[in-house]
Copies of this chain bind each other. A is one copy, B any other.
Amino acid sequence: MEPLVTGQLVVGKPDRPATLADVATASGVATSTASRALSNPTRVNVATRERIERAARELNYQPNSHARALTSGKTRTIAVLVSDVTNPFYFDIIRGTQQQLKAAGYTQLLVDTEESDELEDGMLHKLRGSFDGAILAASRLTDRRLSTLAAEMPLVAINRQTKGVASVFIDTPGGIEQALGHLVSLGHRDIAYVSGPETSWPNEGRWRALVRAGEHYGVAVRRVGPFSPKKNAGAAAADVVLNSGVTACIAFNDLLAIGMLMRLRERGVSVPDDLSIVGCDDIFGADFCNPPLTTLTAPIEQAGRVAVSMLLARLDSQTASAARQTATLPTHLTIRSSTGPAPAERPQ
């Protein structure tokens, strides 16, 4: 009895947060019982459990996640690595992961790898133990390194297909043919691909898909770049594309495309009258830029959600075996105003 009363006597602010031991003494049981009552409810008598739960509530008990992690090895935290927090594309990913993680009662550790494979690798190791698994949005790691890491810890990669590592793939390449078809139907015959960074996995995929589609439609495609996937790299890209004499281009991503739009406006080039532009991703802003961008809409946020689901599924031993290794998310072409009929043959 006495301990229970003690617990209630401490009416002054309990400055130090209540521990499991406090809950235990307050309800007159051992800490082991209290622990079980709260986390493994079936292992303890319903009456005692209720008593303990009440005490916990009254003391405003919050389990110490570090102590818990130390013994159980589970942190209920997921690391999300993005290569550049600056890029709106990742915001959508983060939104998706955040949503899904919160719903599952997990916590999100956000890490910016600054497009550096070393930093990515380093962080993953330094933080190992701080998270149960990681989501790699746009990994810069080599296939080899990625496989090794995937063997060491639960990973899900986004937009990166490597043997042995779970991934969710946004099928932009699959949409490229549709995009090219759109341009061809508008009369374009000479089309450029505005390349993103060469270390970017999706960049290569998009280019290859475009080459294939070009063969299919029998039109010429060429590649310019590489450019950094940022808005301000769009100026250089615009100039190069303009100089190349093509009538239309597909940009690695919307950021680049929007940058081009701004530069072209500055130079007095009309989009789409003089040049048609197709972006990729459909990020925030693609709908209200000037002109609104025709783009390959990607379910970015959904990709984040799916990645979390896959990761969580494989963390749970119950569902681990059934967990999917790969998910492919389709894209679709969203036609807005940055594409139009090819300009009439210009007189020599």
Interface residues of A in 55-84 (CB under 8 A from B): 60, 62, 64-67, 69-70, 75
Assembled-state Cα–Cα distance A17/B153 (Å): 12
Assembled-state Cα–Cα distance A31/B342 (Å): 73
Interface flags, A104-119, vs B, CB<8A=1, else 0: 0001111110000000
A65 in contact with B17 (CB, 8 Å) = no
Q: Which residue of B is nearest A64, CB measured?
A: B129
Assembled-state Cα–Cα distance A231/B288 (Å): 10
Q: How many copies does the complex hold?
A: 2
* Neighbour of A109 across the interface among B107, B129, B290, CB < 8 A: B107
Q: Which of A42-50, A86-94, A173-181 contacts B (4 or more CB under 8 A)?
A: A86-94
Q: Classify chain A's interface size.
A: 35 or more
Q: Which residue of B is nearest A73, CB measured?
A: B66
Report if A258 contacts B (CB, 8 A): yes
Query: A62 — which chain B residues lie within 8 A by C-beta?
Result: 125-126, 128-129
Q: Which residue of B is nearest A88, CB measured?
A: B284
A15 to chain B, nearest CB (A): 9
Q: Which residue of B is nearest A60, CB measured?
A: B125
A85 in contact with B75 (CB, 8 Å) = no
Interface flags, A288-330, vs B, CB<8A=1, else 0: 1111000000000000000000000000000000000000000
Report if A95 contacts B (CB, 8 A): yes
For the complex of A and B, the 8 pairs showing the least CB-CB separation, nearest first, are A290-B290, A66-B66, A285-B285, A66-B69, A110-B110, A288-B289, A85-B95, A66-B70
Q: Write 27 A-B pairs (CB below 8 A) sorted by A numbering.
A: A62-B126, A64-B129, A65-B129, A66-B66, A66-B69, A66-B75, A66-B129, A67-B70, A86-B95, A88-B88, A88-B91, A94-B110, A102-B112, A107-B127, A108-B109, A109-B109, A109-B110, A110-B110, A258-B288, A262-B287, A284-B284, A284-B285, A285-B285, A285-B288, A285-B289, A288-B290, A289-B290
A interface residues with partner B (beta carbon < 8 Å): 17, 60, 62, 64-67, 69-70, 75, 85-86, 88, 91, 94-95, 98-99, 102, 107-112, 125-130, 231, 258, 261-262, 284-285, 287-291
